[in-house]
Amino acid sequence: MRVFNFSAGPAVLPLEVLEQARDELTDWHGGGMSIMEISHRSKAFIGVAAEAEADLRELLAIPSDYRVLFMQGGATAQFSALPMNLTRSDSTVDFVNTGSWSKKAIGEAKRYCRVNVAADAAASNFTTVPARESWQLTPDAAYLHYTPNETIGGVEFPFVPELGVPLVADMSSTILSRPIEVSRFGLIYAGAQKNIGPSGLCVVIVHEQLLGRARSDTPSIWDFKAVAAEGSMLNTPPTFGWYFAGLVFKWLKRQGGLAAMAERNQAKAQLLYRSIDESGFYRNPVEPSCRSWMNVPFLLPRTELEKPFLVEAGRAGLTNLEGHRSVGGMRASLYNAMPLAGVQALCDFMREFARRNG
Ligand SMILES: Cc1ncc(COP(=O)(O)O)c(C=O)c1O
């Protein structure tokens, strides 16, 4: 039996896609082998890889002067590789710090170059996005890095910054949740395990102008230009993850693309936030204009209610609602594959739990 899985990642995947992968697992397209058992250099796999890229390009309307890379090591490898690719040791990178993932990216960049935290949401305990007018930018920064959706804090940028330097975005927990204008970014990266597919894979969308700037001591496997030149097959890529991502992209197209996903995701999030706000029992600490559509943290009135909440939710088939260990409380992640019925079931459970414990 499937549950409603509210995990922040690895997260729920579309059942239709899981079933397709299951049906194809031992005998992919009549070849008598699984997709995992064939060479990445084979015509068959190169076809799968190219189709996945083409579908992603279509979904996000990626302009032709951007390259799409399917890399390994998750989003962490990418925010670590970024400074090697785009800075010299005397360069400055600007960051907007809106929470845990921003902080980790800042920590890695500091190993390579100067870091300027242009804006910091620490004063609000990471419940808001600092107003654009307050940012202290470096005029010749190598790039500005930000996290459009902070997965742990549930804080989302209500705007895309307009800047004179390349904009780099960690879209791990927001990519494909709605349409975006790719041309406003220098580079977008996203770990796969929320809206794309299995963990380990990371999709990178990079403007061609940012290729070829890597430091000479950058390992080839982390050099965007070298990876792009080899069609993301400089070594053996994560073939199963790439294939699975391709199935998810096709599923998204069948759903009506990203405009349709945006409508559904907004409706799901609104339903849950309304239930929280109107309950007089639960509380979401994030400034309303910066509330995430994807990750909804909420607190119970007394911490001793957390354990029974989780146990009873589990019994009702609602799983992985525990907040991140660094912040506590509860968190419901509502990625693309979470149906509205799951959110309705959660809201019903929460209402009933509040009635019994209020
Ligand atoms: C916004 C964000 N960035 C980066 C990461 C790290 O991703 P990975 O574990 O794939 O390195 C995560 C993981 O959940 C995330 O949510």
pLDDT digit string, tens, across residues 168-217:
999 999 999 999 999 999 999 999 999 999 999 999 999 999 999 999 99
Q: Which of 101, 222, 251, 293 is catalytic?
A: 101
Average pLDDT of the segment spanning 56-69: 98
Mean pLDDT of the chain: 97
Please name the residue ranges forming H helices in the chain.
15-24, 43-60, 74-86, 100-109, 224-229, 239-254, 257-279, 306-315, 340-357
Find the 113 Cα to ligand 1 centroid distance in Å: 22
Residue 358 has pLDDT above 90, yes or no: no
Residue 313 has pLDDT above 90, yes or no: yes
Residue 314 has pLDDT above 90, yes or no: yes
pLDDT band at 326 (very low <50, low <70, confident <90, very high): confident
Q: What is the DSSP letter of 341?
A: H
Q: Are strands 155-156 and 201-207 parallel, antiparallel or unpaired?
A: unpaired
Catalytic annotation present for 101 = yes
Catalytic annotation present for 222 = no
**For a pLDDT cut of 90, what percent of the chain falls above it?**
98
- For 95-130, the pLDDT digits (tens) are 999 999 999 999 999 999 999 999 999 999 999 999
Closest residue (by CA) to atom 4 of ligand 1? 75
User: Among 72, 76, 100, 175, which residue has the most ligand 1 atoms within 8 Å of its CB, making it the best to mutate?
Assistant: 76
Q: Which amino acid is at 225?
A: K
CA distance 267 to 343: 10
> Phi, psi at residue 33, to the nearest 5°?
-145, 160
Encoded tokens for 177: 């949740």
Catalytic annotation present for 348 = no
pLDDT of residue 73: 96
CB hemisphere CA count around 153 (13 angstroms): 26
Residue 1 has pLDDT above 90, yes or no: no
Closest CA relative to residue 98, chosen from 86, 90, 106: 106
pLDDT of residue 325: 87
Closest residue (by CA) to atom 14 of ligand 1? 9
Residue 150 has pLDDT above 90, yes or no: yes
Q: Which amino acid is at 275?
A: S
pLDDT of residue 247: 98
Question: What is the position in ligand 1's atom list of the atom closest to the CA of 8?
Answer: 14
Residue 93 has pLDDT above 90, yes or no: yes
How is the beta sheet containing 167-170 ordered, strand by strand?
66-72, 201-207, 187-191, 167-170, 143-146, 92-97, 114-120
pTM: 0.98
